[in-house]
Amino acid sequence: MSKLWLTGVWLIGVISIAAGQTVDSVSNTKVAVGISTNAYRGDLGQPYDKWTMAVHGSLLFNHQRRLHGGIHLSIGSLTGQANNQKVFNPDTNTPNRYFKSTFFSAHYALAYDIVQRTNFVLYVSQGLGFIRFIPHDQFNRRWQDNFSTRAANETYGNVAAMLPTHIGATYFFPNRFGIGTKVGFYNLLTDYMDNVSQLGSDSGNDNAMQVQFLFFIPATF
């Protein structure tokens, strides 16, 4: 976990440096950095039951416009554990009952300001990007390498597309710095975040819910 947070701090630092040192109160470009709490839904355990942390960095363009875009990077983890009532499809192989996936994601999103005031915006956003994930067991061993936890000849890649959707609100101070929060879903296009698919009881892809807390910095280039 310490390596995860060190990497996250490095990510935020790189984005902040790239944004430059000069602050412009009327800047149209903003850097956003923050943390989030995230919960998984899939084959292991109750939906959105266990919460984990992630760090985030974003570069937002034309932020003064009602419709604007941005690049978003995230590093974090998701976890889940099957309860006693969970019933899996019978098979000679046995699916894992616990996982913790570390992930890195990057996506571009368009945001639309539903409410746009001088110091406050309420917006919705839709993104398109990818997520790289590595499911581990409680001893930090990769589940992807343990073929006995999946059906015969069942393999998968650890990079998948994602379509993140959020609703958020931001308050801006007179100097155009801001604080905000947003809530949404990753909308993963994979069923293997937990290493369980064919032997699982839930149909469809895995997903994750996210609550972000963000700090906005005006930037010039």
Taking CA atoms, 18 is separated from 59, 123, 200, in Å, by: 10, 26, 44
Q: Give per-residue pLDDT as tens, 156-196.
A: 999 999 999 999 999 999 998 999 999 999 999 999 999 99
Q: Give per-residue pLDDT as tens, 11-30.
A: 544 444 444 433 343 458 89
pTM, 2 dp? 0.82
The tokens describing 37, both together, are 């709490």
Going along 44-175, which residue ranges are E strands? 51-61, 67-81, 98-116, 120-136, 159-162, 165-172
Taking CA atoms, 154 is separated from 21, 83, 126, 146, in Å, by: 50, 24, 32, 11
Residue ranges for the chain with pLDDT beneath 50: 1-2, 4-7, 9, 12-26, 85-86, 88, 91
Whole-angstrom distance, CA of residue 18 vs CA of residue 71: 13
Domain spanning 2-219: CATH 2.102.10.10: no
